[in-house]
Amino acid sequence: MRVLIVTRLSKAADESTSIERQREAVELWAKLHGHEIIGEAVDNGVSGATSPFDREGFGEWLTDAKAAEFDIVCAWKLDRFSRSVSEFLKLADWMTEHGKQIATTDGTVDTTTPQGRFFTVLLSAMAEWERAMVSMRATSSQAKLRSLGRVHGSTAPFGYKTVRRDDGAYLEIDPETAQIAREMVNKRLAGMSQRQLAKWLNEKGVPTKYGKQWRQTSVSAILGSYALIGQRTSKGRLVTDESGTPIQFGEPLISFEKFQELRAFEDAQEVRKGPLTGPSYLLRGLITCASCGLVMYRSARGKGQPYSYVCSSGVRMLPCEAPQRIRADAVEPMIEALFLDEMGERHVLEPVFVPGEDHSRALEQVQANIDRTRAEADAGLWEGHSEDYMKRLTALTAERTRLEALPQRPDRIEMQPTAQTYAEAWASADVEERRKLLANLEAAAWIYGDPEAPSVEPPPAGYADMVTPLTIRGGYKWLRVKWKRPENEEVVLPSS
Calculate what percentage of the chain has a pLDDT beyond 90: 22
Mean pLDDT of 48-64: 89
pLDDT in tens, 337-350: 999 998 899 888 77
161-186: pLDDT as tens digits: 888 776 667 788 899 999 999 999 99
pLDDT of res. 353: 67
Q: Are 319 and 399 in a shared domain?
A: no
How many Cβ atoms are within 10 Å of 190's Cβ, its own excluded? 12
Are residue 332 and residue 445 in the same domain, yes or no? Answer: yes
The answer to whether the Cα torsion of 431, 435, 437, 438 is positive or negative is positive
What pLDDT score was predicted for residue 273?
Answer: 46
Decide if 344 is inside a domain: yes
Q: Establish if 314 belongs to a structural domain.
A: yes
- At 426 the pLDDT is 93
The answer to whether 74 and 105 are in contact (CB under 8 A) is yes
Instruction: Please state the domain count of the chain.
Output: 4
Kindly state whether residues 12 and 122 are assigned to the same domain.
Answer: yes
- Mean pLDDT confidence for 288-293: 91
pLDDT in the model for residue 151: 58
Could you say which of 405, 438, 467 is where a domain stops?
405
Q: Radius of gyration of the chain from Cα atoms?
A: 36
Q: Are residues 361 and 331 in the same domain?
A: no
Distance of CA 312 to the CA centre of its chain: 33
- Does some domain include residue 466? yes
Report d(CA 101, CA 78) in Å as an integer.
Answer: 13
Neighbours of 340 (CB within 10 A): 15
CATH number at residue 102: 3.40.50.1390
- The mean per-residue pLDDT over the stretch 432-439 comes to 89
- 201 pLDDT exceeds 60? yes
Does residue 363 lie within any of the structural domains? yes
CA distance 481 to 335: 7
Is 282 part of a structural domain of the chain? no
Query: How many CB atoms neighbour CB 463 within 10 A?
Result: 15
3-state secondary structure of 277: coil
Check which CATH number belongs to the domain holding 195 and give it: 3.90.1750.20
Residue 488: pLDDT band by 50, 70, 90 thresholds?
A: very low
Please indicate, yes or no, whether residues 348 and 308 belong to a single structural domain of this protein: yes
Q: What does the alpha-carbon distance between residue 229 and residue 223 come to, in Å, rounded to a whole number?
A: 11
Is 423 a residue whose pLDDT tops 90?
Answer: yes
Contact between 44 and 19 under an 8 Å Cβ cutoff? The reply is: yes
The whole-number average pLDDT for the span 19-39 is 91
Question: Is there a domain that residue 150 lies in?
Answer: no
In tens, the pLDDT along 317-333 reads 888 988 999 989 889 99
Give the pLDDT mean for 294-323. 83
List b or e across 391-430, with b for residues whose CB sees 16 or more CB atoms inside 10 angstroms. Answer: ebeeebeebbeebeeeeeeeeebebbbbebbbeebbeeee
SS3 string, 302-339, reads CCCCCCEEEECHHHHCCCCCCCCEEEHHHHHHHHHHHH
User: Torsion-angle region of residue 348: left (phi > 0), alpha (psi -120 to 50) or beta?
Assistant: beta
* Per-residue pLDDT at 457: 74
Helices 431-440, 256-273: inter-axial angle, 10-degree rounding: 100
Given 94, 115, 142, the domain boundary residue is 142
**Cβ neighbours of residue 483 under 8 Å, at least 6 residues apart?**
339, 343, 438, 441, 442, 443, 444, 463, 464
Average per-residue pLDDT for the chain: 80
Classify residue 118: in a domain, yes or no: yes
Same-domain status, 371 and 339: no
98: three-class secondary structure by DSSP: coil
Let me know whether 337 and 461 are in one domain.
yes
pLDDT tier, 465 (very low <50, low <70, confident <90, very high otherwise): confident
Judging by beta carbons within 10 Å of its beta carbon (0-12, 13-18, 19+), is residue 329 exposed, middle or buried? Answer: exposed
The whole domain housing 379 covers 357-405
> 375 and 331: one domain?
no
- Picking from 273, 300, 329, the residue at the C-terminal end of a domain is 273
Residues 445 and 315 in one domain: yes
Same domain, 265 and 370: no
Residues 94 and 20 occupy one common structural domain: yes
Q: What is the mean pLDDT of residues 52-77?
A: 91
Q: Does residue 489 lie within any of the structural domains?
A: no
Least confident of 14-28, 73-87, 450-464: 450-464
Q: Residue 262 corresponds to which amino acid?
A: L
Q: Tens of pLDDT along 218-247?
A: 898 899 888 898 887 765 666 665 555 677
For residue 300, name the pLDDT band (cuts at 50, 70, 90). confident
Whether 385 and 459 share a structural domain: no
